[in-house]
Structure 1
């Protein structure tokens, strides 16, 4: 087993999102990050896996706004239906042998190396093309909030995402 890179998204908005090296299969460290036993939510759009505290909402952990937005952007079935509570970490999908892989570099680059962001949506009448307005943001989470707010008002929105502007 080797080490992989993970992305940690704290529930506390005052604590920055960061990357960290994690030993594959280090259950104790994984449980330490999420403060308990975890469950895995697949982030289809990001080709990644989000590890969350499986009892987070039941035991009163603080809502994780950033992880919730990322989940809602990953697949519209989650949007406005459920929230994530507590600290989370994200890694890549399992490889062919079922071993953990590093968080996709594309996601790390988007979050940490992008200067400007914009939100894009597909609509029920045109599910194959992404559209955006002229709004640009210097913060990924501000762009995510904006595009999700649009999706809450415009019922024709099918999928939403944040990309480099």
Structure 2
């Protein structure tokens, strides 16, 4: 059994933690055959419906924002559709693992978020401002909007704001 985070496609439904027994459980959670998308820097993966786009499932805005934050080259070129799971990277035997504790903490235990920006002229540093949000995905939307408007931005991220 693994512990995952479900991101429902319907934005009025909150994220929730779910225990998944096996492959059939993952397939049930996403509504079909699964595809795994690596979330690299988070040491996590998205589990999506492999045929979601063919089935014309709705865009999962929250999962798409998360993916766009991590992979700037796909912004506005690809989207995530349908209900998705966040799980951990596979273990040494290739078995799916629990959603990383840092991702669980960020999405469920953090009270305040901020956006940080890395610019081309200072690629070793992230800078932020005083703007604070109480929702991870609202912060991601803000950060991505600023990145689009400000050509100097190389990367963006959403982190917990110091409280």
Question: Common fold, TM-score beyond 0.5?
Answer: yes
Q: What displacement does 1:79 show?
A: 2.1
Q: What is the CA–CA distance in structure 1 between the aligned matches of 2:7 and 2:144, rounded to whole Å?
A: 19
Q: Residues 114-129 of structure 1: matches in 2 within 5 Å?
A: 114-129=110-125
Task: State the superposition RMSD in angstroms.
Answer: 1.1
CA distance in 1, matches of 2:122, 2:54: 39
2:60 corresponds to 1:64: yes
1:33: how far off? 1.0
Q: Report the counterpart of residue 81 of structure 1 in structure 2.
A: 77
Residue 78 of structure 1 and its aligned partner are, at CA, apart by: 2.4
User: What are structure 1's unaligned runs of at least 5 residues?
Assistant: none
Specify the alignment match of 1:105 in structure 2. Answer: 101
Query: Residues 112-148 of structure 1, C-alpha deviation per residue, up to 9 Å, x if partnerless?
Result: 1111100011112211100111110011111111001
Indicate the residue corresponding to 2:86 in structure 1.
Answer: 90
- SS of aligned partner of 2:79: coil
Bigger share in helix: 2
* Match of residue 43 from structure 2: 47
Partner of 1:9: 7
TM-score (ref. length: structure 2): 0.94
| Alpha-carbon distance in structure 1 between the residues aligned to 2:78 and 2:117 | 20
In 2: Cα distance, 1:104 partner to 1:27 partner: 19
TM-score by length of 1: 0.93
CA distance in 2, matches of 1:37, 1:152: 34
Query: Larger deviation: 44-53 or 72-81?
Result: 72-81
1:137 matched to 2:147? The reply is no
